[in-house]
Amino acid sequence: MDLLEIDGSYGEGGGQIVRTALALSTLTQRPIRIFNIRKGRKNSGLKNQHIAAIEVLKQLCDAESNDIDVGSEELIYRPKNIKCRRLEVDIGTAGSISLLMQAITLPLLFGNRKTELVIKGGTSGLGQMPIDYFQNIYLHILNRYCRDISVKLYKRGYFPKGGGEVLVNIKPRFKINKYNNFEELRKDISENVQEISFHQQGILSQIKGISHASSVLMKSEVAERQARSAEITLKKLQVPVSIINEYRDTLSIGSGISLFAKFTINGDVAISLGASSYGELKKSAEEVGKEAALNLIEEINSNAPVDSHLADNLVPLLIFGGSFMTSRITEHTKTNVWVVNKFFPNSLIIEGNLVKFVKI
């Protein structure tokens, strides 16, 4: 089969193109060539988490690739049949565990059997989905496509050393090896799984959160101060706020907070919105908590049911049908729609803040 050519510098030109293309290539068995990877970025080319994702996929589906390393700006990737099993993956840095999961989760949802992954790396930081957000927001969406998916956090990993550790278990419901081709799988899922349909935010009922920090910051009450600052900022919303404070031993010193706004529609729990912030040098714990709270309030005030961070993660799932309204269309979301349309031409469109499936 001819290689699908993908320009890695398109749109925001980040690693999202690589991750989404790897996931769709593995699922559809379509070989790809990505060139100009992260071109124009300060440090262009593949990063550790991309290399780790490719190595995982090589082991899970006997994929082949050209010789690659950190900084490589071209990737040729040829997947084969998915054969799930237990694997241990070490990104080796504070490279994002959640971002690595973006590249491998979609195909593993439809693997031939259960997958168990132990992944070591970063659990929160600049430009990445915190593992707490993955667990509390994204995981609930993914669960509709499989028998079960769980992500357990054992260790937190902050920049620069990482060292975080999570256990991921995925039990497939639709096993791709039982279908003659991807289109048969897609049709079965479309007919038997409720498609994504998020258009109404609902009524705000409560806000939950996790404020975390390295154990050495316990005396300074960093987690508590982050939480208190967030609670003060969120007070104007006049709903119950419950934030858990957590300390863990870590290789590098760090902190962060993730907040989740819970909504109901006709008394039933609806989709949640999320926002996060993380500690940095010369950034007080109070600033971290307030920043996360203000970001969450902005998402709530948009009246959209999908926050701007979840939107680009939902885009690949629209190949099974559906649509959603988001608070704003980011460059990440636009780029992901473009990547999906490379595999399935004109299948997704953006109308205002609505992203929807048209046809395949």
Domain 4-193 shares a fold with domain 203-301: no
**Fold for domain 4-193?**
UDP-n-acetylglucosamine1-carboxyvinyl-transferase; Chain (3.65.10)
Using alpha carbons, list the distances in angstroms from residue 292 to 154, 209, 289.
24, 10, 5
102 contacts 23 by C-beta, under 8 angstroms: yes
Question: What pLDDT does 125 receive?
Answer: 86
- Per-residue pLDDT tens for 146-197? 999 999 999 999 999 999 999 999 999 999 999 999 999 999 999 999 999 9
What backbone phi and psi angles, to 5 degrees, belong to 87? -140, 150
The burial class, CB within 10 Å (0-12 / 13-18 / 19+), for 5 is exposed
* Least confident range of 34-43, 134-143, 281-290, 345-354: 34-43
Mean pLDDT, range 95-123, rounded to an integer: 95
Mean pLDDT, range 58-87, rounded to an integer: 94
123 pLDDT band, cuts 50/70/90, is very high
Spatial separation of the C-alpha atoms in residues 196 and 160, rounded to whole Å: 37
* All residues at 6 or more sequence positions from 231 whose CB lies less than 8 Å from its CB, including other chains: 241, 243, 289, 293
Bridge partners of 261, per DSSP, are: 207, 273
Report the predicted TM-score, pTM, of the whole model to 2 decimal places: 0.95
Tell me the angle at which helices 331-343 and 16-28 cross, rounded to the nearest 10 degrees: 30
**CA-wise closest residue to 33 among 55, 59, 10, 65:** 65
Mean pLDDT, the chain, rounded, equals 94
Question: What pLDDT does 13 receive?
Answer: 87
Mean pLDDT, range 332-339, rounded to an integer: 96
| SS3 at position 224 | helix
- Per-residue pLDDT tens for 281-295? 899 999 999 999 999
Q: Is the pLDDT of residue 268 over 90?
A: no
Mean pLDDT, range 111-135, rounded to an integer: 93
Question: What pLDDT does 92 receive?
Answer: 87
Mean pLDDT, range 49-64, rounded to an integer: 92
- Per-residue pLDDT tens for 301-329? 999 999 999 999 999 999 999 999 999 99
Q: Is the pLDDT of residue 128 over 90?
A: no
Active-site residue list: 332
Question: What pLDDT does 266 receive?
Answer: 80
- Per-residue pLDDT tens for 99-109? 999 999 999 99
Mean pLDDT, range 223-228, rounded to an integer: 98
203-301: CATH, from 3.30.360.20, 3.40.50.1370, 3.40.30.10, 3.40.50.880: 3.30.360.20
Q: Where are the domains of the chain?
A: 4-193, 203-301
- Per-residue pLDDT tens for 16-51? 999 999 999 999 999 999 999 998 788 899 999 999
